[in-house]
Amino acid sequence: MNHSIKATSILLLCLILCLAWHIPAQASPEPVPVLISESPIPHYIYETITVPGVDFLEITSSNDHGHYVGNTMSDDGRLIGFTLIDGVFTTYDVPNSLQTAFYGFNNAGQAAGFYDDQNEISHGIILQDGEIQTWNFPGALNTQIFGIGEEGQILGDVIDANDNVNGFIDSMPFDIPGAATTYVDHINAAGIVVGSYVDSDGKPHGFFGYQDGTFTDIGLPGMPNIEYLFVNAINDAGVIVFRAKIVDDIERSYVLHPNSTPLELRFPGSVGTVLRDIDTEGRVVGYYDLPDGRRQGCVITPVSQKQAEKHSNVFTTDLTKGLNMLSLPLATPKPMNAKAFAGLTGSTMVIALDAENQRFIGWTPDAPDDGFQIEGGQGYIVNVPQQRDVIFVGAEWRNETEAAAAPSATPIAIQQQTWAFIVSGHLGSKQKYDGYHITVTNLRTHDVMTTQVQDNYFAAATADLSYRSVVQVGDTMQVIVTDSNGNIASDAFTFEVTPASVAEAFLSVTLDSIGTPKHSELLQNYPNPFNPETWIPYRLSEDSNVSITIYNATGNVVQTLSLGFQSAGFYQDRGRAAYWDGKNASGEKVASGLYFYQLTTKSFQQTRRLIVVK
């Protein structure tokens, strides 16, 4: 993917309709290097694409909708494919394969790649509507797909038993005459194909392939002694993305604009950068490696020189294993949220201080949204499972408060103490409980965390900014749910803090049966003793007609409270509990002394005592 296209060639393409892609050796012209003239250098800004909890993210292709495909690692260390669509990360792994990989993507949402079976034979695959289908080039031993066009054209390479590599487009071979090897990677909307080949002397070249069966070399002035070259993509404007290694150098990635020279793009501070695709707006995608061994996706966007200079600042820091306090040192090109912050830092969670309400708020990867905004001038608590290197790229803060906090990225030395912690989870029901309240109590320390439910998710956070422990392995966390009016809405849940949850600095739980107790139960009245009135709380595990009968010490009925048909639920607060005014069936005040009250439903009965005083 590295070159410009002549206007005459584009006009010719408009006139040609149905020509075969196979290049006959006897009819093909000699490769003609395309001349490139100097032009103003384009300018770019750099952004990281991450998925929280994923330390290996190779973005290999994108479409014009801002969706991505690529490869990641399975739990057992195999390469597997993924899609990242509207923030939803989905992995794909062909059963019993050695690896599954995606390299092409189009605007229709089709992804293309290949998998290797147990015999190390490659098979092409197409992903459409969430289903993987096998596609092999006719008669080929190995099929590896690297591109898929907007019209569904399939491009890639076939490899024979002797490891000879030849290109193809759909069911037609695409070979550069006289080439020892031909690689075919990408096709744009105009039908121009790009790839690379190795000539009979072992020299690598990039090429344009046209619909009339001709091709031209991609000239790369200023790049002598190329050891290898792979042209990966071309967009509709003729901008090319390619990778090359010059002898005695590392592999580098470049863009080549029409009438320009190759421009290396390297993510600032990275160990290495690999670029794989480019969209119609000129946004380049790929991935880069960090010193700590992680691999993260990136998008590099063309902008004005002024914008590029504004966002050219780089800030690097390292985080120690465990809990760290960190601020956002630079204003990123796009607003950053908790999800992106966790992905960038490699953190298992993020905690912020809600200054207005003087409480901590948390975000964990099981949240249904991207979480709160990350702002300059604020401190955030992150927890990393290993030492992490973090690269921030962006603009200097303009606001004085934000700028004052910008350089702060302070790892906390006392890592033995779990001085910040989150209890998060979901309310397991199709019913919506937005606005319900969660109260979490550590039964050892009696410390309390509170939060609200949103999208049936909650994250109750706490921290001790003196870095003293707030939780330890074996602690029991009690969770109680109340509705938006403060009424009890659940049994008390208890969960044990495990070594894994301490290591991640959060405990993930699921709260089932909200609104319905596990067992019917008659609770102690309040106040007790009382005069002149009391409330009698109870719980119903099923719908039923309900009554409460009051007896005196000799067993005679004093009063019956017929409560009618009631749904299963918690009837514990004054607005829902049974009310007794201390009078008998005749409306007379009862004498002081001991009484019994009995709850009766269709399948449950329980009796307790109460005391009336004067």
Q: pLDDT tens digit string along 193-244?
A: 999 999 999 999 999 999 888 899 998 877 888 999 999 999 999 999 999 9
Class (C level, CATH) for 420-512: mainly beta
| CA atoms 102, 104, 106, 111: torsion sign | negative
pLDDT of residue 27: 33
DSSP per position, 357-420 = TTEEEEE-TT-SS--SEE-TT--EEEEESS-EEEEEEEBPP-SHHHHHHTT-EEE-S-TTS--E
Name the burial class of residue 130, with classes exposed (0-12), middle (13-18) and buried (19+) by CB atoms within 10 angstroms of its CB. Answer: exposed
List residues bridging with 243 in a β-sheet: 230, 253
- For 567-576, b/e burial (b = at least 16 CB within 10 A) is eebbbbeeeb
d(CA 329, CA 324) in angstroms, rounded, equals 15
- Does an H or E element contain 13, and which? helix 7-15
pLDDT of residue 31: 35
Helix, strand or coil, per DSSP, at residue 300: strand
For residues 28 and 289, the answer to whether their CB atoms sit within 8 Å is: no
For residues 380 and 351, the answer to whether their CB atoms sit within 8 Å is: yes
CA angle 170, 171, 174 (to 5 degrees): 80
pLDDT of residue 294: 97
For residues 227 and 246, the answer to whether their CB atoms sit within 8 Å is: yes
- What pTM was computed for the model? 0.82
Same fold, 420-512 and 521-612: yes
pLDDT of residue 401: 53
CA angle 205, 148, 173 (to 5 degrees): 55
Ranges of the chain with pLDDT below 70:
1-41, 399-416
Q: How far is CA 411 from CA 132, 380, 414, 440, 468, in A?
A: 44, 11, 9, 28, 15
d(CA 142, CA 137) in angstroms, rounded, equals 8
d(CA 234, CA 192) in angstroms, rounded, equals 8
pLDDT of residue 223: 84
d(CA 293, CA 388) in angstroms, rounded, equals 9
pLDDT of residue 485: 83
d(CA 80, CA 119) in angstroms, rounded, equals 17
Identify each DSSP E strand in 36-78 by its residue range: 43-49, 58-62, 68-73
d(CA 195, CA 530) in angstroms, rounded, equals 88
Helix, strand or coil, per DSSP, at residue 247: coil
d(CA 86, CA 152) in angstroms, rounded, equals 22
CA angle 585, 590, 591 (to 5 degrees): 155
Residues 6+ apart with CB under 8 A from 293: 55
CATH number assigned to the domain covering 521-612? 2.60.40.4070
pLDDT of residue 41: 61
End-to-end Cα distance, the chain: 93
pLDDT of residue 203: 94
Q: Where are the domains of the chain?
A: 175-265, 420-512, 521-612
